[in-house]
Amino acid sequence: MTGFTHFLAVDWSGAKGVRQKGIAVAVALADGGPPVLVTPPDPKGWARSDVLARLRDLPGATLVGLDLGISLPHADAGAFFPGWDASPADARGLWALIDALCEGDPNLEAGGFVTHPQASRYFRHGAGLEGDRFLIPGAATREGRFRVAEAAQRQQGVRPVSNFNLVGAAQVGKSSLTGMRMLHRLGGKVPVWPVDPLPAEGSVITEIYTSVAARLGGVTGAATKLRSYGALNDALDVLGSPPVAGTGAIDDHSSDALLTAAWLRHVHAIGDLWHPSSLTAEIARTEGWTFGAV
């Protein structure tokens, strides 16, 4: 799909609290120029509700990349929560269930879901604190369950963490669950690819993994975080983007958002990225996909 005028990347956070230091938003324009950070509406930083409001009022035709998991594993067991009769049939049903069980949680937090008597059984909550359904019978690894898109990411040299894992600095479970609450609250105003079909025109939301963007930006080695303007601008140059102004250190939330906005602009017209070989109609409606995973 082409015709986008804006490329918006959101480095997300699942932390508690009203405003999050871990949220950064950047935009790259189709007309060119360096990506720029979007100033949050409050000097203390972005609230998740601020991001939701921005997604409800996107400029032009915007390709949005959210650095979070838009769903949970389903294909490996034929269900999100095998053995639980409330397990939803598809991703939108999952978003609705999470939001309903978190009704009492402020700031789009997800505590009500991960502490629910049934839902909690499927998550790793701490070292040695795994729910009795964290793994499925015959699991080949103790890392947890993975989506088909995450298997594709591994083939590209990055190491995603299971969305059922709530432990450690690399965990993405909490951010993914809070993000799914946001997507439910968006109410279908903007299509979420590939849970929703790719429209012929207009704005689209996708899941991104900033490490995939970093790899295509020339970042090598085990670490994919860029913590200096020099390293960021080297990666932007690989993506055909002008450099951003600045010297010295930069926080990795900002660099992730800036790099990924430029990456979305650079690769969005590559047809194969919208048609990965492992993406079936069933996977699209249940697990979704990560844009850039092939």
- CATH at residue 31: 3.30.420
Q: To the nearest whole number, what is the mean pLDDT of the chain?
A: 94
pLDDT band, residue 143 (cuts 50/70/90): very high
Of the chain, the percentage scoring pLDDT greater than 90 comes to 85
**246, pLDDT greater than 60:** yes
60 and 127 within one domain: no
Residue 171: per-residue pLDDT: 85
**121, pLDDT greater than 60:** yes
110 and 163 within one domain: yes
172 and 97 within one domain: yes
- Within a domain: residue 288? no
Candidate from 25-29, 127-131, 246-250, 262-266 with smallest mean pLDDT: 127-131
- Within a domain: residue 54? yes
**222, pLDDT greater than 60:** no
Q: 160-191, pLDDT tens digit by residue?
A: 999 999 998 778 899 999 999 999 999 999 99
193 and 53 within one domain: yes
* Spatial separation of the C-alpha atoms in residues 84 and 171, rounded to whole Å: 24
Which residues constitute the domain of residue 193?
A: 6-70+185-274
Q: Which of 120, 150, 178 corresponds to the end of one domain?
A: 178
With beta carbons less than 8 A apart as the criterion, state whether 59 and 6 touch: yes
Residue 23: per-residue pLDDT: 97
Read off the tokens for 66.
Answer: 């959210």
- Within a domain: residue 82? no
Query: If you average pLDDT over residues 99-124, what whole number do you get?
Result: 97
Residue type, 114: V
Q: 28-62, pLDDT tens digit by residue?
A: 999 999 999 999 999 999 999 999 999 999 999 99
Candidate from 108-117, 146-155, 214-223 with smallest mean pLDDT: 214-223
**271, pLDDT greater than 60:** yes
- Within a domain: residue 249? yes
Tally the domains of the chain.
2
pLDDT band, residue 221 (cuts 50/70/90): low
User: Greater confidence, 83 or 127?
Assistant: 83
218 and 195 within one domain: yes
- Convert 176-221 into a string of H (helix), E (strand) and C (coil): HHHHHHHHHHHCCCCCECCCCCCCCCCCEEEECCHHHHHHHCCCCC
pLDDT band, residue 225 (cuts 50/70/90): confident
**223, pLDDT greater than 70:** no
What 3-state DSSP class applies to 46? strand
206 and 170 within one domain: no
- Within a domain: residue 207? yes
pLDDT band, residue 217 (cuts 50/70/90): confident
45 and 190 within one domain: yes
- Within a domain: residue 101? yes
Candidate from 79-88, 151-160, 248-257 with smallest mean pLDDT: 151-160
237 and 217 within one domain: yes
Residue 90: per-residue pLDDT: 98
56 and 197 within one domain: yes
- Within a domain: residue 280? no
254 and 237 within one domain: yes
Of the chain, the percentage scoring pLDDT greater than 70 comes to 98
147 and 206 within one domain: no
* Spatial separation of the C-alpha atoms in residues 94 and 139, rounded to whole Å: 23
- Which residues, 6 or more positions from 128, have their beta carbon under 8 angstroms from its beta carbon? none
